[in-house]
Structure 1
């Protein structure tokens, strides 16, 4: 997009003071406060009239007095037909970029009141907020307004029914004929504003709630992207724009708008269906907006070139907009990008890697994996923009990865759609993002989605931040019994083996460790964010033991307490990097551990000793009951019900319980010592990050220790 301010300064149309707080319109010699948001829109609109529409500066007046009854107000800009500035031609009303849809509609009425109050006849009205514009042809005599796709350029009388065409910059310019416009590339902040305001315009009237409005906006952004990707000849108009109906075709203003809306709706629906034919998983339901609401969204996005807008800028814009809407109730679906970047950067992911996130949320891990491969493609083919052969290889290198090797599972259908949209905006990678419970079996996922890619034992990398704290219960999910970690752990110090029982419930993050193990290839890497309780609580020792059997522990990187505070979670967490053992290695580890347990039980006569103690307890209990029986002349059964017996028995059981605990602790210590000697010894990378680039509120800070930790961890992984 043109930098109108910079060009205006170069052409001496405007000037500024040193701190850019005051703008001077040179020809009129008027100085204004440039910190006023409306003034910035005013300045750019003034410059566009000269630079895009070719109107002479001498025929443009700003801040023109308008008498409204007893009040005198100012019209922002008036363009005149004559050099004497007596015959007003175009009246322009400028509003700040953040104006609401209701305020914007009020601005249209205000502009009309100014147009009717000015002497002589204003022919056109242009209302703009900088990111949205409406154009009208005015007829004072008949008190009508005819909406147009644009105002006429200088010397042009007839305006086409559309404004934006493909490759407009290469069309020859002819005097007296309209010049069409290309779609504009805009920066991140402006694109974010357009997304936000389009979203607000959808739900502000109360017909949709913010969540529904987000879904519908998602669909229309998809249509916009699809429209830009359609092959077109030079000069062919885009479908995703408001195309007006001439007043000669339909005189009624109301009917014209209805016809325009209906035609726009048909074009948008056609785009939507074309896109859905390629991938039905993107959006399963139809667009549910009225034609008028579709027009509202199109008015915010029709002029933007999403395809050529810088990848990072449009990605950040969508994530910022998406984040501002979903954070709070949906904060768990967003892993801070500093943590995501750290994890993806250290892993040796390349274009041949098959990558999965089993609880992908908004798609952050998948996007960074895609960008990593795309950046590698750019390193390999640096001249891809100039060399056609290089471009084909560059595109194939990363796009094959995006289409065939990038997989995501998200249980929330709404968040899954947002993830897909996020991927599409980043130039694809959405094909294998599915809506499903990430803990069901691979066969279930494949049967429900018909996607053969979700097969256990086929992934090179799993990068994920599973949901913390929620519990999967056996009464709710029958699949719990299929998980090893869904069963109660075997106690090797139990006197009698018991049949393995399914737990009543298990934390989701624990089950995801096992699910990710199943999805990984042997030698594959799992990088997972976990609450520290799994790594430290004694009650979670069975989980740590299972991790030891399944994985080589590569690294543990501790995050600060505030890592997820801005997303509404205060759980202290760490990132665990694991490498899946081969089956032979796991079998050898479990066999060695079993041997150690058996040897210790035999060496310490554990079972014999426990049975002897049980025998002693029963003997002493019988003796005590008989003593009380004789002393009180009651039955042995009644003797055991006396307070004397109960107190004595409690002391007896406590004494033997202490003996059992002492023996168990002795064997447990011996087990740990023996295990350390007999199991393979290997280094583990350990680090504590206290500053990670943002504070508890999510505000950016200068220090990010993950950068240095990541460099060292990457080197460590390369040695494995």
Structure 2
């Protein structure tokens, strides 16, 4: 139960109906709850009573501080006696969004109040971060040696060496925190390292990643109940000792997973202590997937908008894709453009949920080695990701660590480079052609891959120039030279095909242009030959707006066909092309019209014909009169050609040529259209004799601003699509089965 709910249930506080004010019942004092600092003070007050055991009668709010300015008040003072004459603990409360510099100022203010009241201990807190000091036993200006792990609980004369203890005995267990609080913690820790420009945001993020890694590694270190966690400030410990301890944790983890971080921690002792202060209380392992994922991405997006934000696929779309697919712990799964790892995380979470379900069904206990192996073997050996940006790949690894491992097979590499080259360069033999059961991905849209910069374009069928089959027939050509450039999302469709084994399934987010633009017909033809189309699910226009993109998109589900099936399809299509083209009303008619068009254009309009006739008559007259010589004819012919050429530039001739060309082209185009329609119909009758799952999602749980709508049509669509995909796998793929 939330500490506010506990306080309300025990009659310690009470809110107004509009929650604008809070009443501290034992103190009979009412304060504005709309004040950000009051949010922190009310929780701290309840902690003192419910967690530390102090009686409300010994707690004073806004206690007057002697020897200070008349208006100076201490936020909370805890007394050692019922008469409240012996101040024991002074608490300085600040709002959650306080900066690190402001927090240091709050410590100074707290020391002033504590010394003036002659209290023994000081607790400075923003709710997000806390610092504790033994004030009375040290010199007034001491700020290091007098740090303590926590204030004492009621009735104890001994200070805790460490606050956070495994199991919580003689201390406190780590806390699960909300998504909002975790976002604030990440952001404020990052701000402290960024320090207004001391580091650039990316460098600060890298260092924070390393410390989070240490935090998680420490949480997962095997320890008995009653043993303290190492990731925290100990009473009386110098900051350099904390630095040494955290670096030791980091080096152990780094030795096991050298690919996660190659560099050492670059923080000094004070900087590290600051970040530890933000993270120490949090139980990252126990915080649920959605909270961790959204907090991580919200934090990242707020600092790296434009650089990192583009790598996020909205979680509702990620969930939809993963829930639609029959992924199990035995599946081999890949994201060829994994960004921050969202698809991989949800695939891992799906397998963990299966493990939980198996535990409920009695196959093993939830805390058993079998349960752990069930999902962890999948994470370690069957979950793969490729990301072109090294910093983003590292972020994906970090994201995977935060969500309980699975980072080992995330590599930094250009996903469009050769697969063999990727495997060799990254020293990861798991990246192989024809290996993967499922590929779940949202490739970058609109990136132009130029042949002059990336010669690998020529290794893709879709990277080579294509020509309409009718034109190929008419011109008797078959182009196979590389394109000057190609869109990245088109190349990724082919790259995914290479990774999948026969019968493997691709779920890919694509711009709708691939499905609708006439210029993309060659891509659709290629897909039709290489895949069985399972489903097309249309996303709303606003699906990616909140993430900074406005491209209308759909999710395409494809089932990889065997080479034999592809060869059969291509042979059938070739046969149908020959059959339709060879009909006299098509191929021969087009050829005849093309020849007629060229003949008429060469002959020219009436004026040009008259010029030609006049010239011929003039030459013949010269011959008849005996005035003809070769030189004269040559000069006359030259002059005639110049006049004709000049006339052909005239508006009159150009208008005739344009009209004539358009007339013939329209007639030819009509025949080609009829030919294409008849061919397409034959293909549909012959090849596309299977059902395709089609759906349009208009509300996917959030609007263009990212605000939740309370409705998500992708949830029921995913349930039905899952059944449909299972039917395809089982060979009963019909809506009417």
1:212 aligns with 2:203: yes
Q: Given that residues 12 and 26 in structure 2 are in contact (C-alpha distance below 8 angstroms), is that contact kept between their aligned partners in structure 1?
A: yes
Q: Given that residues 466 and 479 in structure 2 are in contact (C-alpha distance below 8 angstroms), is that contact kept between their aligned partners in structure 1?
A: no
Deviation for aligned residue 1:690: 1.5
The Cα RMSD (Å) is: 2.9
Report the Cα distance in structure 2 between the residues aligned to 1:329 and 1:156, rounded to whole angstroms. 52
Alignment: residue pair count? 694
> 2:150 maps to what in 1?
150
Report the Cα distance in structure 2 between the residues aligned to 1:609 and 1:14, rounded to whole angstroms. 88
1:460 aligns with 2:437: yes
Deviation for aligned residue 1:224: 0.2
Deviation for aligned residue 1:698: 1.0
1:125 aligns with 2:105: no
Q: Given that residues 148 and 233 in structure 2 are in contact (C-alpha distance below 8 angstroms), is that contact kept between their aligned partners in structure 1?
A: no
Matched position secondary structure for 1:476: coil
Q: Given that residues 354 and 461 in structure 1 are in contact (C-alpha distance below 8 angstroms), is that contact kept between their aligned partners in structure 2?
A: yes
Report the Cα distance in structure 2 between the residues aligned to 1:367 and 1:503, rounded to whole angstroms. 36
Matched position secondary structure for 1:268: helix
**Structure 2: runs of 5 or more not aligned:** 619-635, 729-737
With structure 1 as the length reference, what TM-score do the two structures score? 0.89
Deviation for aligned residue 1:348: 1.5
Report the Cα distance in structure 1 between the residues aligned to 2:59 and 2:597, rounded to whole angstroms. 108
Report the Cα distance in structure 2 between the residues aligned to 1:663 and 1:459, rounded to whole angstroms. 44
Q: Structure 1 stretch 467-476 or stretch 689-698: which is displaced more?
A: 689-698
Report the Cα distance in structure 2 between the residues aligned to 1:193 and 1:565, rounded to whole angstroms. 24
1:59 aligns with 2:58: yes
Report the Cα distance in structure 1 between the residues aligned to 2:582 and 2:138, rounded to whole angstroms. 108
Matched position secondary structure for 1:712: helix
Equivalent residue in structure 1 for 2:499, among 512, 515, 519: 519
> 1:718 maps to what in 2?
726
> 1:500 maps to what in 2?
480
1:473 aligns with 2:450: yes
Q: Structure 1 stretch 279-288 or stretch 341-350: which is displaced more?
A: 279-288
Report the Cα distance in structure 2 between the residues aligned to 1:557 and 1:612, rounded to whole angstroms. 43
Matched position secondary structure for 1:102: helix
> 1:4 maps to what in 2?
3
Deviation for aligned residue 1:548: 0.5
> 1:134 maps to what in 2?
131
Report the Cα distance in structure 1 between the residues aligned to 2:593 and 2:138, rounded to whole angstroms. 112
Report the Cα distance in structure 1 between the residues aligned to 2:54 and 2:547, rounded to whole angstroms. 51
Q: Structure 1 stretch 145-154 or stretch 599-608: which is displaced more?
A: 599-608
Q: Given that residues 488 and 500 in structure 1 are in contact (C-alpha distance below 8 angstroms), is that contact kept between their aligned partners in structure 2?
A: yes
CA gap of 1:558–1:52, structure 2 versus 1, over 3 A, is closer
1:634 aligns with 2:611: no
Give CA deviations for 1:631-666 in whole Å, capped at 9, x if unaligned.
782237546633248837935655654554344334
> 2:657 maps to what in 1?
650
Deviation for aligned residue 1:234: 4.0
Deviation for aligned residue 1:530: 1.0
Q: Given that residues 41 and 95 in structure 1 are in contact (C-alpha distance below 8 angstroms), is that contact kept between their aligned partners in structure 2?
A: yes
Deviation for aligned residue 1:196: 1.9
Report the Cα distance in structure 2 between the residues aligned to 1:460 and 1:547, rounded to whole angstroms. 18
CA gap of 1:43–1:639, structure 2 versus 1, over 3 A, is same
1:291 aligns with 2:273: no
Report the Cα distance in structure 2 between the residues aligned to 1:141 and 1:296, rounded to whole angstroms. 22
Give CA deviations for 1:331-383 in whole Å, capped at 9, x if unaligned.
32111111111111111111211111111112121122122222122122117
> Looking at CA atoms only, which structure, 1 or 2, has the larger radius of gyration?
2
> 2:633 maps to what in 1?
none
Deviation for aligned residue 1:616: 8.0
Q: Given that residues 490 and 500 in structure 1 are in contact (C-alpha distance below 8 angstroms), is that contact kept between their aligned partners in structure 2?
A: no
1:430 aligns with 2:407: yes
CA gap of 1:629–1:519, structure 2 versus 1, over 3 A, is farther
> 1:172 maps to what in 2?
none
Q: Structure 1 stretch 122-131 or stretch 472-481: which is displaced more?
A: 122-131
With structure 2 as the length reference, what TM-score do the two structures score? 0.87
Q: Mapping of 1:644-683 within 5 angstroms?
A: 644=648, 647=653, 650=657, 657-658=665-666, 660-683=668-691
Matched position secondary structure for 1:642: helix
1:100 aligns with 2:106: no
Matched position secondary structure for 1:677: helix
Report the Cα distance in structure 1 between the residues aligned to 2:70 and 2:614, rounded to whole angstroms. 109
CA gap of 1:113–1:658, structure 2 versus 1, over 3 A, is same
Q: Given that residues 384 and 391 in structure 1 are in contact (C-alpha distance below 8 angstroms), is that contact kept between their aligned partners in structure 2?
A: no
1:440 aligns with 2:417: yes
Give CA deviations for 1:51-105 in whole Å, capped at 9, x if unaligned.
4334444433221112465532211122233443223222111112222222211
Deviation for aligned residue 1:497: 1.4
Deviation for aligned residue 1:411: 1.2
1:617 aligns with 2:598: yes
Report the Cα distance in structure 1 between the residues aligned to 2:589 and 2:7, rounded to whole angstroms. 95
